A and B are shown apart, each in its own frame.
Chain A
C-alpha cells in the first residue's frame, strides 16, 4: 500500500477507491451494501462465505483496506473472522447485523471490530467507514514509532511531567486475549517486526488515562458511559469504542480490586477512591518511612485492569495486586501479589506476568547499591526477580543515581508466601536489573541498578507502575515490595499494564520492566510489552 493506503485511488480524492471487502451471505443485503459502497466510490469485492473472504485476504495481502462482515455467516461465525483478520492482518473490520442487542455489539467491539453497524444499513453510515482505516493507520504509526524510542522518549517526556506521578496506562491498551483481534496487537507476541505492522492500537498513555479517569470521576462510575467520557475527555482522535473498551477494563479492574481487597483484608487495600486520588507530588518521597505493617503504599496504587495493571502513585495507599488483574500491594509479607490469587500473597504475586509465573525471586536479584533503598519487601513479601538478562537495559544507573530515596530492594528471594519470614529476605538487594520491558516489538528497557532502587525491606511500599504493555511481572514486584520500595517505585509512576491473559496465566515469560521490580527469571516478558516510563520514574522520584 502506498502511504495513502489505497493502491488504486480513483481519480477522485480520498476516500475514493477505498478497497472494501464485503462478507455477507444474504444476497439481497449483499447487493444493497455493494451498491451503497459503489455509490461512495469505493472499490468493492464481495464474498458470500467467510472462508472465501479469508482466502481472498490471504491471497491478496494488502489488497484491501477494510473488511465489512455480517455477524451471522453460515460457515463461520463473523467474530471468528474478526480474530483472523483483525488479529493477523491488522485490517479494520466492521461488523454488521440486524441484531443490535447490546451484548452482541459489545462482543463485536471487544473482539476488535472497529465498528458495529446495524442493518438495514444506510448509505451515510458506509460513507464514513474510511475513518477506520485512517484511525488504524494513525494508531499503528504511533505504536510502531513509539516502541522503539520509548525508553528514550519516555524518559524525556515523562521527565517533564514531574507532577505526573500517577501511573499511567501503558501506551497500549492491552487486551490480553489473543482472540481479540485488533485490540490485542500489542500483546500478541507478534512483535517481531514492529515497523512492518501497523498496530491499530490506541495508546492509553498517562495523559489520556488521566483524562479518562477525570471524566469518569466527574460523571461518577455508575453513571458513566463511553459517550460521556469521550465528550469530557475532549480528545479528538479518540473513539467511543476506545473509551468503551477502556472503561470496561477499568471497571473490571475496579471490581477485581474490590474483590481483592475484601479477600486480602490488607489494611491498605486499594480503594477505588484511592486510586483516583491522585496526588501529584505524592510519590516523590520515596523515603517515607512506612511502617512495616502498614499498608501504606505511598503513592502508588497498583491495580490491574483486566488487562492492565496500573499502579498509581498514591500516598499511603497500598496497591493490591491481584494476579488476575489486580495488583495488590501487600503491605504485609503475606499479601504478596498472588499469582492466581491462589497463592498466598506475595509469593504468587510475582506471577503476574501473563506468561510467566513469577516464581520465587531468584536470589540473583541484587540491588545495586547505588541507591540506598530503604524500601523493602514487607515481611514475607516475596522478592521479585526481574529477569534482566537479555533485555535491553534501561540505563537506570543514572536514574537511580538521582534518586535520593532509598530504593526498595526487591527481594531476590522466592516469592514464597510469606509463610516464612525468612522468605522475606527483604533486605537483600535486588538485582539491579529492573527490566523495563516493552512489548516485544519494542525495545526492552531494563533498569539497571534496580537493586539500588529497591531494597527489599519489610515495609509496605508504594507500587509504581510503569506503563507497559506487559504487566504482571512488575505488578508482582510491586506487591512484594515494601511500602518504601513501593514508594520508590511509585515515583516511577508508570502503569504496568498487564494483559489479562498474562496476568492470569502467570507464565514465566514476563519480565516486568519496572525499575523497582526485579524480574525473576521465570518472568519473562517475552511477548508483553512492558513499557516502563523510565523518565517518569525519574521524575516522580523527584530527586
Chain B
C-alpha cells in the first residue's frame, strides 16, 4: 500500500474511533509524546495498558466472586482502572468505570456484576480497535511514512 493511502486510512480510522467515543484527546497526547527518541512509545504504553487492564479485570472478577464482596477493595481496583484507561484515552472504558464506582459506593453487588461485564466488553472493543490502529501505524512506518498527528483531537 502506498504511504499516503495508509496514512489516510489511519486518519479515517482514528476519526471514527474518536467520533464513537472509543478514544479521546488523551490518546492524541500520547501520540504527541512519541518522537525519534522513542518511536514506539504509543505501542509500549498501549501494551502496558493491556497488561495492566487484564490484571485488573481479573482482580475485579475475583473480588466480585466472593461471598462477601469487599466493596472497598473493589472500588480501589475500579479506581485504578479508571486512572489507567483515562490516561490512555480509552474513554468508554473510563465512563463505565465511573458508573462502576458509583455502584460500589452503593454496595450494589448485582449492579457491580453487570458493570463488570460491561467494562470487560468495552475493554475488549477498545483493545481490538487500538490494535488495528497501531497495526496501521506500523505499516505506515514500515512504508517509510510519518504517522499523522491527531491534532484535531487534542
Contact = CB atoms under 8 A, between A and B. Distances in A.
Contacts of A35: 33, 38, 41, 45
A98 B89 CA distance: 13
A273 interface: no
A61 interface: no
Interface in B102-147: none
Contact of A120 (B41, B48, B89): B89
Nearest to B154: A122
Contact of B87 (A25, A32, A99): A32
A39 interface: yes
A123 B84 contact: no
Contacts, number: 60
Interface stretch (B3-11, B12-20, B61-69, B75-83): B75-83
Contacts of B52: 26-28
Nearest to A121: B87
A31 interface: yes
Contacts of A120: 26, 29, 86-89
Which one of A25, A26, A27 has the highest number of Cβ atoms from chain B below 10 Å of its Cβ? A26
Interface residues of A, number: 20
A98 B29 contact: no
Contact of B48 (A27, A97, A99, A122): A27
User: Which among A28, A121, A122 has the greatest number of chain B C-beta atoms within 10 A?
Assistant: A28
A26 B83 contact: yes
Contacts of B87: 26, 28-29, 32, 119-121
B99 interface: no
B29 A31 contact: no
The binding surface of chain A is classed by DSSP as mixed
B32 interface: yes
Contacts of A25: 80
Contacts of A70: 83
A98 B38 contact: no
Contact of B79 (A36, A98, A122): A98
B83 A98 contact: yes
A123 B87 CA distance: 12
Given A27-B48, A27-B52, A120-B89, A32 B83 contact: no
A98 B29 CA distance: 17
Contacts of A32: 30, 33, 45, 87-88
Contacts of A291: none
A28 B81 CA distance: 10
Interface string A23-64: 001111101100110010000000000000000000000000
Interface residues of B, number: 24
B44 interface: yes
Contact of A123 (B29, B41, B82): B29
A98 B33 contact: no
A382 to B, nearest CB: 50
Interface string B24-42: 0010011011010010010
A139 to B, nearest CB: 32
Contacts of B32: 123
A188 B49 CA distance: 43
Contacts of B51: 27
A127 interface: no
Nearest to A33: B87
Nearest to A74: B76
B114 to A, nearest CB: 22
A267 interface: no
Contacts of B80: 25-26, 72
A123 B30 CA distance: 9
Given A32-B30, A35-B33, A35-B38, A99 B79 contact: yes
B49 A28 contact: yes
Interface in A271-326: none
Given A27-B48, A31-B44, A72-B76, A119 B33 contact: no
B11 to A, nearest CB: 22
B127 to A, nearest CB: 13
A273 B85 CA distance: 50
B40 to A, nearest CB: 12
Top 6 A-B residue pairs of the complex, sorted by shortest distance between their CB atoms: A98-B83, A28-B84, A120-B87, A120-B26, A120-B86, A28-B49
Interface of A: 25-29, 31-32, 35-36, 39, 70, 72, 97-99, 119-123
Given A27-B52, A99-B79, 15 more contacts: A25-B80, A26-B80, A27-B51, A27-B84, A28-B45, A28-B52, A31-B48, A32-B33, A32-B45, A72-B79, A72-B83, A119-B86, A119-B87, A121-B87, A123-B32
25 contacts: A26-B52, A26-B80, A26-B83, A26-B84, A27-B51, A28-B45, A28-B48, A28-B49, A29-B84, A29-B87, A31-B44, A31-B48, A35-B45, A36-B33, A39-B33, A39-B35, A72-B76, A72-B80, A98-B79, A119-B83, A120-B26, A120-B29, A120-B86, A121-B87, A123-B29
